[in-house]
Amino acid sequence: MLRVGLVGAGNIGREHLACLLQLDEVRVVAVADPVLDLARDLANRAGATAYADYRDLVGLVDAVWICTPTFLHAEQTITFAEAGVHVFCEKPIALDLAGADRMIAAARSAGVQLMIGHVIRYYPETVLLKRLIEEGELGEPVFAFGRRLMASAVEKHAGWRRDVRLSGGLAMDSAIHEVDTVRWLAGEVATVYGRVVHADPSYPEVDTDFRALLGLRGGATGAVEFSIHMPFRDWSWGVVGTRATAVSPRRGEVRVARLGEREERVIGVDPIVDPASRVNQMMLAENRAFVESIRQGVPPPIPGEEGRRNLEVILAIYESSREGRPLTL
């Protein structure tokens, strides 16, 4: 039985707990959050013990799920890794590459697993897009995109997310998913040309619109879009290939259209949340994958190095915007 600790009792921690409780080979024994009442609430659901200080979990757990704000990831991951504890860390891996490197080195030195929570790879829409590419139905990828456009005032975001010193920026916190999706579907990023806008005068340091054109090593082009100024919500992914195009509007479906054909094919996929249990099935899948990597002693599907690469791309997009020129990675 794997003894698991949960660090961070906010919304993401709550969702991970619901998933961990579905795994027979896991026992959640401790929950830590500086707001002890939040920790107690989740701990009570699991029959676990609540702690205010995450360091109290050292010696009690075999693996830990870190669901805290980004600025805490490096310190917390290193603390647990050096104590021989396997670490699942929510995205982004860290605020900067130096922090990510220290996390990866600590896990490698201690011989423990480190996985980063880029859960979009487990969404059924994304899995289907990946399969269509691998089976050759789309031909060679020419263009891939990830888009997250919404209407969401800066002031409605959590306080730490509004402080770029703690979050890195709204796009780093959210659009890093789209960077990972484009990389996973169409290939590694070689060049970036970014444009970042800070359009809220009350929060001049916070990025409200974030767009980038990505040159991929295989020759395809990628694009990432993020905005909190879009009243028509659009959260979608897609791949244009030499034979066909596949796009998911994230409504439980993927639309496929072939060149020269007038009709498109709509392929339905399973819902994200199971209607009966109300558990996010994609988070459940990533949690199960991490547990299996620990049990089998093999690298996790999304190791720290993958999280670092996504962070490198996001940081380069910010830098490209500041310098007004494309950058080579």
Residue-wise pLDDT tens digits, 57-87: 999 999 999 999 999 999 999 999 999 999 9
Considering the domain architecture, whether residues 218 and 186 belong to the same structural domain is answered as: yes
Is there a contact between 223 and 104 (Cβ–Cβ < 8 Å)? Answer: no
What pLDDT is attached to residue 280?
95
State the average pLDDT over residues 307-311. 98
| Same domain as 200, residue 94 | no
pLDDT of 287 > 90? The answer is yes
CATH number at residue 91: 3.40.50.720
pLDDT at res. 44: 98
With 90 as the cut, is the pLDDT of residue 155 above it?
A: no
Same-domain check for residues 63 and 165:
no
> Which residue, among 48, 8, 42, 44, has the nearest Cα to 26 in the 3D structure?
48
Mean pLDDT of the chain: 96
149 and 253 both lie in a single domain: yes
- Host domain of residue 166: 121-273+309-328
Residue 109 and residue 40 share a domain: yes
Given this model, what pLDDT does residue 260 score? 82
Whether 158 shows a pLDDT value over 90: the answer reads no
Q: pLDDT band at residue 254, thresholds of 50, 70 and 90?
A: very high
Residue 156, pLDDT above cutoff 90: no
- Do 47 and 194 sit in the same domain of this protein? no
104 and 126 together in one domain = no
Phi-psi category of residue 53: left, alpha or beta, with phi > 0 → left and psi -120 to 50 → alpha: beta
Q: Are residues 32 and 134 in the same domain?
A: no
Angle between helices 73-82 and 97-110 (to 10 degrees): 10
8 A C-beta contact, residue 144 and residue 247: no
Clarify whether residues 206 and 73 are in a common domain.
no
CATH number at residue 317: 3.30.360.10
The pair of structure tokens assigned to 267 is: 């392929």
Alpha helices in the chain (DSSP H): 11-20, 36-46, 73-82, 97-110, 124-134, 159-162, 164-167, 170-174, 176-186, 281-296, 304-323
Q: Around 237, how many Cα atoms within 13 Å sit in the side-chain half-sphere?
A: 25
pLDDT of residue 41: 97
Answer yes or no: do 255 and 130 share one domain.
yes
Number of separate domains in the chain:
2
Residues 151 and 168 in one domain: yes
| Residues 47 and 28 placed together within one structural domain of the fold | yes
Strand order in the sheet with 141-151: 265-268, 253-258, 244-248, 229-241, 141-151, 221-227, 209-216, 189-197, 327-328
Residues 6+ apart with CB under 8 A from 135: none
| Interatomic CA distance for residues 107 and 113, integer angstroms | 6
Residue type, 151: A
Residue 250 has pLDDT above 90, yes or no: no
Mean pLDDT, rounded, for 44-59: 98
Half-sphere exposure of 246 (CA within 13 A, CB side): 25
Share of the chain above pLDDT 70, in %: 100
